[in-house]
Amino acid sequence: MIGAQLVRENPARPAERVGAVPVTPVDQVDATVRAAHRDFLDRAAVTMARRLVELADAADRLDLRRAELAALLARETGKPVTDCHGEIAFAATYLRWVCANAQRVLTPTLLDDELGRLSCAQAPYGVIVAITPWNAPIILAVLKLGPALAAGNTVVLKPSPLAPLTVTEVAAMLPGVRVVHGGAELVTALVSHPLVGKVTFTGGGQAGRSIAATAGGALTPVVLELGGNDPAVFLDDFALTADDYERLVLASFATAGQVCMAAKRLYVPAGRLDEFVESYRAAAQRILLVGDPMIDEVTMGPVVTRAAATRMSELLADARHRGGSVLRLADAPTGDGYFVEPALVLGLPDDANLVCQEQFGPLVPVLGYSTEDDALARANDSELGLGASVWSADEDRAFAFAARIEAGFTFVNTHNRTGMSLRAPFGGTKRSGSGREYAEEGLREYAQPTVIHAPAAFRAGGPGLSARAYPTN
Ligand code: NAD
């Protein structure tokens, strides 16, 4: 940050300044939340149908500006521009899904029968504070903004300082959203503000703990979408085609491995390790091109910061120290960009840092296992439980194994975004968070059931009920 500006550099060419946004002073938080709350009250007159038209308009504008926004996103994050096109298009697709489903999911219900009159509305919380990470900054913001706005809330969005530019453009397309920029101090002031109805956070565990503690102190409900250390388990009958191997490689190395649900630990039957590694290496040579994110053919760019690159060097040094052998999968450009050579690491013990920590980078451990129970115990031996995958020629067998994995979302014969579905709720178990995004569950996160009930017993002429009775229906 320079003075009151937050300047973003290009991770592929750090000397290049991509853009800047103004830092929001902490003493402006109160005025910002109050303004968002006034908007919330004013927008009570806006019908859900009208709100959904606004979301649909934003989806159209995302489509119209896709190329320009994708280029900006690639330059501020280091993600390949082709992936950035995909992310912007996916955000528009998700907004249209919200438009198609919000009325059905959020419409109030009314029962008026022999038991009484019972209405249940899906009421907004008021002001939602949304704190988002850098690695998929558009879709991860839109997963919060779409449902929150559909339900009638307003939002104060605090994006990551590592990717503040594109998301600020996107948020400006949506009525009812204010964007603030800054770090932890700003977040604490937002989360503890008494007029905030709910907090929603996507990011790492450390920030998550701090946000949950502050929200807890204010008794403000909070959604936490945190990190993962996803295992991918290959059952002994796994039968991957060349295409499957390519998809598997990108399941770990897309966004240079900096994806919450990347395949981060690969468990392979010991007897099939050599065959697996050879096919994997061949697929990586076909599919992994590390380079300038602005080149269409590039599939892996740099990591996001110098600190992230340094952490990868440290993890690699530790892995070597722990007896791991490193299999480099592709060359990376030299120069001052934050490029890291993608690699598999073989022969590590389970307590090596690269195995038991979320690496969030392009280094992936391959671990041999003896029996299915051995694989299951080691896959589950993590405080995190976000995603996982099971690979088998037999779908029933894969589902039976998957049911024993501790994860919010287990993919079968794929992993990462190719296994997602708009109709499937996504979120973590264990210390990977609470709350869900996507699907009906994601829409319901930003609406609270509020009930009005007149029991028939107390209507004029009704049978009445003893003052000490419990209900029976
Ligand atoms: P991060 O936790 O460093 O930052 C996320 C947001 O929190 C940013 O806006 C940041 O400014 C803010 N922040 C950082 N430290 C804070 C603190 N101490 N107090 C308050 N706010 C703070 O995460 P990141 O590097 O942007 O993203 C990477 C992490 O996010 C990984 O762990 C990844 O797995 C996780 N992630 C999870 C999901 C999911 O859906 N579960 C999706 C994407 C990323």
Region 363-378: mean pLDDT is 98
Three-state SS for 399? helix
Task: Characterize the bridge pairing of strands 154-158 and 127-131.
Answer: parallel
Q: Whose CA is nearest to atom 10 of ligand 1?
A: 160
Pocket test for ligand 1, best of 187, 252, 265 (most atoms within 8 A of CB): 187
DSSP secondary structure string for all residues of 2-67:
BTTEEEEEETTEEEEEEEEEEPPPGGGHHHHHHHHHHHHHHGGGS-HHHHHHHHHHHHHHHHHTHH
Single out the residue of 74, 13, 79 nearest to residue 337, CA to CA.
Answer: 13
The residue nearest atom 42 of ligand 1, judged by CA position, is: 260
Pocket test of ligand 1: the residue of 79, 134, 311 to mutate, having most ligand atoms within 8 Å of its CB, is 134
CA–centroid distance, residue 280 to ligand 1 (Å): 30
Is the pLDDT reported for residue 107 higher than 90? yes
Distance from Cα 164 to the centre of ligand 1, integer Å = 13
Instruction: Please write the tens of the pLDDT for every residue from 182-234.
Output: 999 999 999 999 999 999 999 999 999 999 999 999 999 999 999 999 999 99
Of residues 176, 139, 136, 177, the one with CA closest to residue 158 = 177
The residue whose CA has the least distance to atom 26 of ligand 1 is 133
Nearest atom (ligand 1) to Cα of 261: 34
* Segment holding 130, helix H or strand E: strand 127-131
**Catalytic residue IDs:** 225
Q: Mean pLDDT score of the chain, rounded to an integer? A: 97
Atom of ligand 1 nearest to the CA of 433: 41
Cβ atoms within 10 Å of 405's Cβ, excluding its own: 20
End-to-end Cα, the chain, rounded Å: 60
Predicted pLDDT of residue 473: 87
Query: What does the alpha-carbon distance between residue 70 and residue 67 come to, in Å, rounded to a whole number?
Result: 5
**How is residue 89 written in tokens?**
């298009």
CA of 207 to the centre of ligand 1 (A): 6
Ligand 1 centroid, distance to 358 Cα (angstroms): 13
Give the list of residues 6+ apart from residue 451 with CB closer than 8 angstroms, or none: 118, 119, 120, 121
From the CA of 182, give the closest atom in ligand 1.
Answer: 11
460/218 Cα distance (integer angstroms): 43
Over pLDDT 90: what percentage of the chain? 99
Residues found in the chain:
473
Q: Going from the N-terminus, what domains does the chain have, and what CATH number goes with each? A: 5-226+432-452 (3.40.605.10), 231-419 (3.40.309.10)
Indicate the pairing of strand 222-225 with strand 196-202.
Answer: parallel
Predicted pLDDT at 415: 98
Round to whole Å and give the CA distance between 333 and 449: 54
Residue range 47-64: average pLDDT? 98
The set of protein residues with a Cβ atom below 6 angstroms from ligand 1 is 131-135, 140, 158-161, 183-184, 187, 202-204, 207, 210-211, 225-228, 260, 358, 360, 386, 428, 433
Tell me the CA–centroid distance for residue 133 and ligand 1, in Å: 5
Mean of the pLDDT values across residues 25-34? 98
pLDDT at 349 over 80: yes
Rounded Cα distance, 356 and 107, in Å = 44
pLDDT at 1 over 60: no
Can you tell me which atom of ligand 1 is nearest the CA of 427? 41
Task: Indicate whether 447 pLDDT > 50.
Answer: yes
464 C-alpha vs ligand 1 centroid, how far in Å?
55
Which residues neighbour 229 within 8 Å (Cβ) at sequence distance 6 or greater? 264, 265, 356, 357, 358, 382, 384, 386
Q: Which of 83, 72, 99, 77 lies closest to 174, judged by CA?
A: 99
* pLDDT computed for residue 3 by the predictor: 63
Max CA separation in the chain (angstroms): 85
